[in-house]
Structure 1
Amino acid sequence: MRLSRRSMLALSGAAATLPMMPGGLRAQGLSPLTMQAAWINDAEFAGYFLAMDEGYYADEGLDLTYLPGGPDVIPESTIVAGRADLALTTPDTTIKAIAEQGAPFKIIGAQYQKNPIGIVSLASAPILSPEDMVGKTIAVPPVNTISVEAVLALNGIDRDAVNIVPYAYDPTPLVQGEIDGSLDFTTNVPYTIGQLGEEAVSFLLYDFGFTTYNDTVVVTEETLAERRDDLIAWMRASRKGWNENFADTTLWPPRWAETHFAGTGRSIDNEIFFNAAQQPLMEAPGGIFAMSEEGIAGNLEALARVGIEGTREMFDTTLLEEL
């Protein structure tokens, strides 16, 4: 159930970002670690870019290779194939793979405490709750229809009371009044709609019962057993990068216009908007990547609503205890 966030963008120059020493030589004497991101290079991964550029991974003894994602990348497949040591995933796909296919995965952290997906609409005709969806036409990616149906059920709304149509990852029909709302990343699409001359509003599925994480940090059981110290080092460096990024959400995106963000077709103002919008969805009392018992239980309950039966054993919080 991989949500294709934002409109489909042609990604050029999607090369892995590698820590470099003066003269272009790869860092020496460090432990190599490869990370698979969940999407193309945008503000969703700002903390990792900062940690790479500021040498935080090298400080922790790691030589990090960063692999961008995209619409054709299945992060779990990358770690199964041995092309990456850890990946950022959606918990539904990971837990489904464990429960139904016996995949040897463990979830060791969660970037987003609240999943950013939600219903986006225009301020001139706002949809701010599941109840507001009644009688409306909502565009939803087919792979996410089950999530929207779960939210309707959780809120006592008849599925037939809402006209759900396929979403083509383009907010233009919403701006033109062809639909009333769409399911997308609430951290980014409102900016795109603003560029089209309309003001957008949104609500999270999370806030109405579909309580899932997003960008869960996933490794294989083998990697967890054999590279525990390296994984803790990665989490420590990444958390430092995110904390510094959130100290001023406007500071870092402009610095990456010709590096990490090059070739995406998106403006730096868009990335700044995204960066600020995601901050409250990521920060938690336990720090970046935290997974509370309440949060884990919320994920399992929400996924059970859509027929994905997970267990507490699929989550490992012991690395977080060592940060």
Structure 2
Amino acid sequence: MLNKKFATVTSVSLLFVALNTIANTSASLAHAQNNKVRVAQTWVPNIEYGGLWVAIENGYFDEEGLNVDYIPGGPNATRPEIVVASGNAEIGYTNWIPFLDAVARGNDFVMLAATLPVSPLGIISLPGKPILAAQDMAGSRILAQRATEREVVNATFTLNDLEAEWESIPTGFSPEPLLAGDGDGYTAFETNQVITLEMMGLERDEDFHFVLFDELGFTSSNGVLFTTRDYLEEERESVIGFMRALTRGWIENEQDPDAAVELVVNNFGADLGLDPEQQRRQNETQIQLMRPYDDPDHRLLTLDKAVIAGPMYDAARASGREELPNVDQIVDTTIMQEVHESLR
């Protein structure tokens, strides 16, 4: 009789434990499903987001209890600032000046991190008329892809106390018009068109020259990650978890760059027909740019308020943006500080 009672109690206890385990598991799954983080990108899913692909593939976001989805960008896609402001994404990618413009339009955005502390935007020129300093741009015909690039050229003149005497020639994403002699310079990205020329067999510093606008005095950041103040205040731990997983992805990418290339070519960007060699070289270039000025101690994705309040605000003012908010209102450096502390 005693054994029967013991068996009954034991069975009930085991049933309780099993039900409790199921309930806890269901709650955890529900939390992960409800804790969805949508990320709006500026460009198509290529190696530019290598750290994100690695973090997704390796389950780093899952470990943070986050269900991450991404919204690809591109030339015809809705800008991430609009996607986030409309509530269709929690976190967005953008660049420095567009971020400032979005804030100026009344969006209560907070800058969390920067993938590339130094923008890869610069000018390609040919040996016949090299553009290596700001004064070399004077009197030049510069092929500029978009209005934003034209604005950067004008601001660079201003920052160097020079008259903006140059001719802007509209162009596309290919540097071939420069090679055809349609201009003296071409606004380009070190992570894109410079690689295009090298893959055509041209040698940098011999067959063509490239200089970053940062070297000419216009300081900016690319791959800025931002969110709304409301989301940051309500879901701070989720934001920290997202950035921690993303940082782990970028650290892994540094250690094994080919893994991210394989992921993007064969998985996340499989429909784009990406060139594996181009993606590999782009990844190598962005890895170098993620630690600016060859500083091995620079912590990935971190922000420097002194740089933002100094040369980055100078660049913004030179481009006509006079009414700038206090840096503390739009930048939160504590997120990445906590991330790196937790990764020690």
Shorter-normalised TM range: 0.7 to 0.9
Letter in 1 for 2:334: T
- Contact 1:105/1:221 (8 A) holds in 2: yes
Candidates 312, 317, 324, aligned match of 1:310: 324
Aligned Cα root-mean-square deviation (Å): 1.9
- Contact 2:125/2:210 (8 A) holds in 1: yes
Candidates 69, 79, 85, aligned match of 2:84: 79
User: Equivalents in 2 of 1:228, 1:286: separation in Å?
Assistant: 24
Letter in 2 for 1:213: S
For the residue of structure 2 that corresponds to 1:258, the secondary structure is helix
Letter in 2 for 1:304: R
User: Equivalents in 1 of 2:185, 2:280: separation in Å?
Assistant: 24
Q: What does 1:85-234 correspond to in 2, within 5 Å?
A: 85-99=90-104, 101-122=105-126, 126-140=130-144, 141-160=146-165, 162-199=166-203, 200-234=208-242
Structure 2 residue aligned with 1:288: 300
Moved more, 130-139 or 70-79: 130-139
User: Equivalents in 2 of 1:263, 1:118: separation in Å?
Assistant: 29
Q: Deviations over 1:179-229 (max 9, x none)?
A: 222112111111212344434431111122111111111111111111110
User: Equivalents in 1 of 2:214, 2:196: separation in Å?
Assistant: 22
Return the offset for 1:136. Answer: 2.5
Structure 2 residue aligned with 1:236: 244
For the residue of structure 2 that corresponds to 1:87, the secondary structure is strand
User: Equivalents in 2 of 1:122, 1:183: separation in Å?
Assistant: 13
What stretches of structure 2 of length at least 5 have no aligned partner?
Answer: 1-28, 340-344
Q: Deviations over 1:59-93 (max 9, x none)?
A: 11111101111112301011111111000111211
Q: Percent identity?
A: 29
CA distance 1:137–1:204, change in 2 (3 Å): same
Q: Deviations over 1:46-67 (max 9, x none)?
A: 0100110111111111111011
Structure 1 residue aligned with 2:338: 322
Q: What does 1:51-62 correspond to in 2, within 5 Å?
A: 51-62=55-66
How many residue pairs are counted as aligned between the two chains?
A: 295
Return the offset for 1:175. Answer: 1.9
- Contact 1:175/1:196 (8 A) holds in 2: no
For the residue of structure 1 that corresponds to 2:270, the secondary structure is coil
- Contact 1:142/1:166 (8 A) holds in 2: no
- Contact 2:188/2:194 (8 A) holds in 1: no
For the residue of structure 2 that corresponds to 1:94, the secondary structure is helix
User: Equivalents in 1 of 2:126, 2:45: separation in Å?
Assistant: 27
TM-score (norm 2): 0.80
Q: Over alpha carbons, which structure has the higher Rg?
A: 2
User: Equivalents in 2 of 1:194, 1:69: separation in Å?
Assistant: 26
TM-score (norm 1): 0.85
User: Equivalents in 1 of 2:201, 2:180: separation in Å?
Assistant: 11
The answer to which structure has the higher helix fraction is 2
